[in-house]
Structure 1
Amino acid sequence: MTASLEVDGLTIASGGHKLIRDVFFTVRPGVPLTLLGESGSGKSLVVQAIMGTLPAELSVTGRVVLDGKDILGTDRRALWGRRIGLLPQEPWLALDPTMRADGQVAEVYRHVRGLPWSQARQSGRARLRELGLEAASRRYPFQLSGGMCQRVALAIARAAETDLLLADEPTKGLDRALRDDVANGLKAEADRGRSLITITHDVAVARVLGGKVGVMLDGAMVEYGPAGSVLDSPRHDYTRQLLMADPSAWAPRKPLAPRDTVIEARGLTKSFGGVPVIEDVDLDILAGEVVALLGPSGSGKSTLGNLLLGLLRPDRGEIRRKAGLSPLRFQKVYQDPPSAFAPHQTVRTAFADLAKRHGLDWKRFVPLFERFRLSSGLLDRRPGQLSGGELQRFALCRVLALEPAFVLADEPTSRLDPITQREVADLLHELAAEHGLGVLMVTHDHAMARNLAGRVIELRSAEPDASSPGGVTAPA
């Protein structure tokens, strides 16, 4: 069975404020739709309206018509995993922490597709093998990198083979090769006759998927049409700005003058379960410089950063931090921002607790909110009511408010649209120069690393099925 979807005049409001205004589009089998736009523009709210998972306090009007039937306002749980599938933005929240990867895929084949357990397990492992995760199939989510978790979530979504697939940022946290594999895999699903809506910040993904593209800004769809027309001959100023903000178009930053070493490591080696992740890594970070740490998913980038911060203990090697600095001045911006915020309290409460714990004046936060374009109204929302990009910017503000000497920024811009991504990257560079902040930025984006960082360090692949552990291979 195939599914056709029509969204007609969709409007979502909170109180008297419209978050989404009169959005129209259609999705046909085999013709994917990609939604582009900055963080907070409303893309994920549109998907939630289709799924029927909008927060209860939001009001919604318009029509969401699936195969001729308006499903808006109806209970859609019977459709989940059968007719409508979701690849969520945050795999860290979507995966069951108590189940191994292969079991999570297998249960889709067992309970949704009705296969016997033996066949379901074989099919689940085959899906993981397609995505390069065969050797990771018996691991739990906490034992996988962010990119690996993203691929497990993708395997689950593809296993259901729903008529309509909603993919919310399916390639975030993936290196370029895996990004292209995932994008081509989604296109193959559409080519097989599935209806597909993809939310992404990555213009390259939109080009691979083809079909149609809708560009959203401040809750409205400002441009909509065939992918080739929108991406090659945009009519709206915002679309042109979005396309011009790709990291490949950034001008390289000038290296900063050398300063004191803020943290250094010699001969770092770490294994998990007997599998080496990094081996004999040497590096040093100077005050005031931005160093990019490149490498494919699973190469040990986050592990190396956690070793530097003392969150993990090395099996072998030595770490030296600048004398006289409190441990509080060595901070981390997490790859998955929901993991850094309590889900049931507002962002304002999180910052108030931070201020109380460390004796900070609220006035310290205000300039950071302004620099990161975060309105005061967002403070009274819970983390689940914010976009991934908004939450990531709040995470950056919270870390920078502590005036760190060193920051491990683990994929700090992976959830941001190109325009906001460039703004945040500029701010990190400015703050490093202004305050002598040493930054180790973990990224998969070669263009961003090359144009933002003064130095680039690359790790070899260290996927669990790789033959060699991660190590520094190409400082630049």
Structure 2
Amino acid sequence: MNMRAGIQELSISALAVESAAGRIVSDISFTISRGRPLTLLGESGSGKSLVAQAIMGNLPAELLATGKVLLDGTDLLAGSPAERRARWGRSISLLPQEPWLALDPTMRIASQVSEVHRFVKDRDARRSRQLAGDNLAEVGLERAGELYPFQMSGGMAQRAAIAITHAADVDLMIADEPTKGLDAALRDSVVARLRQEVDRGRLLLTITHDVAVARALGGTVGVMLDGRLVECGPAERLLAAPEHDYSRALIAADPQGWEGRAPTTSGEIVLAGRGLAKAYGERLLFADLDVEIRAGAIVAIVGPSGCGKTTVGNILLGLARPDSGTVERRKDLSPLRYQKLYQDPPAAFAPHQSIRKGLVDLVRLHGRTWIEVERLLARLRLQGNLLDRLPNQISGGELQRFAILRALLLDPVFLFADEATSRLDPLSQKEVIDFLLEIVRETGLAVLLVTHDRHLAERISSRIVDLGGAAPLGYGE
């Protein structure tokens, strides 16, 4: 494959990010060269995304970046805000962590991709539409161009955001969690696409909590903890024999290595669907589907992106109607005790309201106490200083843990966890899963878990419903 002409190197030295309260990120140094990508691993809140935002030049106004960020000798930190913005979509592109924040809800997906070719790359309208179709086909969305973002699953929205980034054809691509929410096959296809970009000479910085992604991309891997780069080196060495204790724990936390911990007891039926069927247009998602969730049990739904996993949960909650079949819920319980954790947490939070204000309102409205909030903050490993931030000022993983906290405050009997851990690094995911298992055993909470991670489903669920074509599998029944 021929190398494209372009920028040769991104060199970062002594990069720091500071707030009025002190440094958040300290002394980050690494180099990305053509043909050798760099991947940053680390837990939510470790500073990975702040590094990307500093390079991009779009840190929140209250944060300041210092140090050197040289793109072929040009210091990106030295330019004015206007000069930084002028590079967006031309020499640097950022694939954001949350697809909901990357897509215009008022425009069809094909038009959003076409706009990049038309107005950034100065191509005519006809050619722009053709190239947009090619970009969507590359990520498996050739039939989705006329959809709006709200009509797409979380995985489809992520692929649409990737298609927009591909359309920009920049020298430096920053991919912030590019595969979260995707099933294994789509994850592998996205990684293969990123590898192609590297092979063509594009510089690539990837931020991920997926060790499999870091291994597949190769190049260099850096591990971040508490705003510092604790280890950095060749991927093949670091992932096989990490030296730092945190690196070892992070790599060992993959669900594939967990022991089975599915709940072994279950009580009365909390929620059930009988003979459910749903189609969108001519596409049948599922038919004659029976789902039963009992108190104290975890039922997992697995299958490829867009197969209808989220739709099943929404039907059971009454958020969507089945084409046929019935849903049975306990009539003696308030609907508020049937709760949902969303795949994209920004979609579930008021964007201009602090986390604290939302929780204070919830406590007051439903007669809870702030002591309960503080207890859950500790159990979910959430720092109190995050409470006064807006949803877009904390990491996706932290926001998802706040969503879990908010749901549990309402004392639910049923929790629909729609990819509830897909935003979390392996260690945080394990902590949250451990916590959910504790709650299930302590309270008899019934859980419906949608996940792309079959290993996770097999380790913690009482039953697996496979919408990919296989018959439901039983565990511990």
TM-score with structure 2 setting the length: 0.96
**Residue 473 of structure 1 pairs with residue 471 of structure 2:** yes
Kindly state the Cα deviation for residue 323 of structure 1 after the two structures are TM-superposed: 3.3
Q: Which deviations, in whole Å up to 9, do the C-alpha atoms of 1:153-199 show, x marking residues without a partner?
A: 11110111100000000000000011001011101101110000000
Residue 39 of structure 2 is aligned with which of 30, 34, 45?
Answer: 34
Which deviates further from its counterpart, 12-21 or 206-215?
Answer: 12-21
Kindly state the Cα deviation for residue 312 of structure 1 after the two structures are TM-superposed: 1.0
Q: In the alignment, what sits opposite 2:77?
A: 72
**Residue 121 of structure 1 pairs with residue 126 of structure 2:** no
CA distance in 2: counterparts of 1:109 and 1:69, whole angstroms = 26
Q: In the alignment, what sits opposite 1:58?
A: 63
Q: In the alignment, what sits opposite 1:49?
A: 54
Structure 2: unaligned runs, 5 residues or longer: none
Q: Which deviations, in whole Å up to 9, do the C-alpha atoms of 1:74-131 show, x marking residues without a partner?
A: 2211100000011111111110111111111111111122221111111111111122
Partners of 1:409 and 1:441 within 8 A in 2: yes
CA distance in 1: counterparts of 2:355 and 2:44, whole angstroms = 17
Q: In the alignment, what sits opposite 2:466?
A: 458
CA distance in 2: counterparts of 1:188 and 1:290, whole angstroms = 39
Q: In the alignment, what sits opposite 1:467?
A: none
CA distance in 2: counterparts of 1:196 and 1:10, whole angstroms = 18
CA distance in 1: counterparts of 2:158 and 2:140, whole angstroms = 12
TM-score with structure 1 setting the length: 0.96
Counterpart residue type for residue 9 of structure 1: A
Q: In the alignment, what sits opposite 1:335?
A: 343
Partners of 1:253 and 1:454 within 8 A in 2: no
Q: In the alignment, what sits opposite 2:6?
A: 2
**Residue 171 of structure 1 pairs with residue 176 of structure 2:** no
User: What secondary structure is seen at the aligned counterpart in 1 of 2:24?
Assistant: strand
User: What secondary structure is seen at the aligned counterpart in 2 of 1:268?
Assistant: strand
Residue 449 of structure 2 is aligned with which of 441, 444, 462?
Answer: 441
Which deviates further from its counterpart, 48-57 or 254-263?
Answer: 254-263
Kindly state the Cα deviation for residue 274 of structure 1 after the two structures are TM-superposed: 4.7
Residue 158 of structure 1 is aligned with which of 161, 166, 169?
Answer: 166
Partners of 1:109 and 1:160 within 8 A in 2: yes
CA distance in 1: counterparts of 2:248 and 2:210, whole angstroms = 14
Q: Superposition pairs for residues 292-441 of structure 1, below 5 Å?
A: 292-441=300-449
CA distance in 1: counterparts of 2:6 and 2:433, whole angstroms = 42
CA distance in 2: counterparts of 1:100 and 1:475, whole angstroms = 38
Overall identity of the aligned pairs, in %: 55
CA distance in 1: counterparts of 2:356 and 2:263, whole angstroms = 37
CA distance in 2: counterparts of 1:387 and 1:413, whole angstroms = 13
Q: In the alignment, what sits opposite 2:99?
A: 91
Q: In the alignment, what sits opposite 2:261?
A: 253
Kindly state the Cα deviation for residue 21 of structure 1 after the two structures are TM-superposed: 0.7
Residue 218 of structure 1 is aligned with which of 219, 223, 226?
Answer: 226
Counterpart residue type for residue 471 of structure 2: T
User: What secondary structure is seen at the aligned counterpart in 2 of 1:396?
Assistant: helix
Partners of 2:263 and 2:460 within 8 A in 1: no
User: What secondary structure is seen at the aligned counterpart in 1 of 2:458?
Assistant: helix
Q: In the alignment, what sits opposite 1:22?
A: 27
CA distance in 1: counterparts of 2:6 and 2:225, whole angstroms = 30
User: What secondary structure is seen at the aligned counterpart in 2 of 1:46?
Assistant: helix
Partners of 1:256 and 1:433 within 8 A in 2: no
Partners of 1:96 and 1:104 within 8 A in 2: yes
Q: In the alignment, what sits opposite 1:13?
A: 18
Partners of 1:52 and 1:73 within 8 A in 2: no
Residue 233 of structure 1 is aligned with which of 218, 224, 241?
Answer: 241
User: What secondary structure is seen at the aligned counterpart in 2 of 1:299?
Assistant: coil
Kindly state the Cα deviation for residue 254 of structure 1 after the two structures are TM-superposed: 4.2
User: What secondary structure is seen at the aligned counterpart in 2 of 1:267?
Assistant: strand
Counterpart residue type for residue 27 of structure 1: I
User: What secondary structure is seen at the aligned counterpart in 2 of 1:154?
Assistant: helix
CA distance in 1: counterparts of 2:262 and 2:362, whole angstroms = 34
User: What secondary structure is seen at the aligned counterpart in 2 of 1:355?
Assistant: helix
Which deviates further from its counterpart, 164-173 or 319-328?
Answer: 319-328
Partners of 2:262 and 2:298 within 8 A in 1: no
Taking only aligned residues, the RMSD between alpha carbons, in angstroms, comes to 1.2
Runs of 4+ in 1 over 6 A off after TM superposition: none
CA distance in 2: counterparts of 1:13 and 1:241, whole angstroms = 28
CA distance in 2: counterparts of 1:114 and 1:474, whole angstroms = 51
Counterpart residue type for residue 115 of structure 1: R
**Residue 270 of structure 1 pairs with residue 286 of structure 2:** no
Counterpart residue type for residue 382 of structure 1: L
CA distance in 1: counterparts of 2:311 and 2:386, whole angstroms = 32
Counterpart residue type for residue 280 of structure 1: D
Which deviates further from its counterpart, 45-54 or 452-461?
Answer: 452-461
Q: In the alignment, what sits opposite 1:469?
A: none
Structure 1: unaligned runs, 5 residues or longer: 462-471
Q: Which deviations, in whole Å up to 9, do the C-alpha atoms of 1:258-278 show, x marking residues without a partner?
A: 310000111112233453333
CA distance in 2: counterparts of 1:73 and 1:456, whole angstroms = 54
Q: In the alignment, what sits opposite 1:468?
A: none
Kindly state the Cα deviation for residue 289 of structure 1 after the two structures are TM-superposed: 0.8
Kindly state the Cα deviation for residue 73 of structure 1 after the two structures are TM-superposed: 4.2
In the comparison of the two structures, how many residue pairs are matched?
466
Q: Which deviations, in whole Å up to 9, do the C-alpha atoms of 1:280-330 show, x marking residues without a partner?
A: 211100001111110110000111101110111222110001231110100
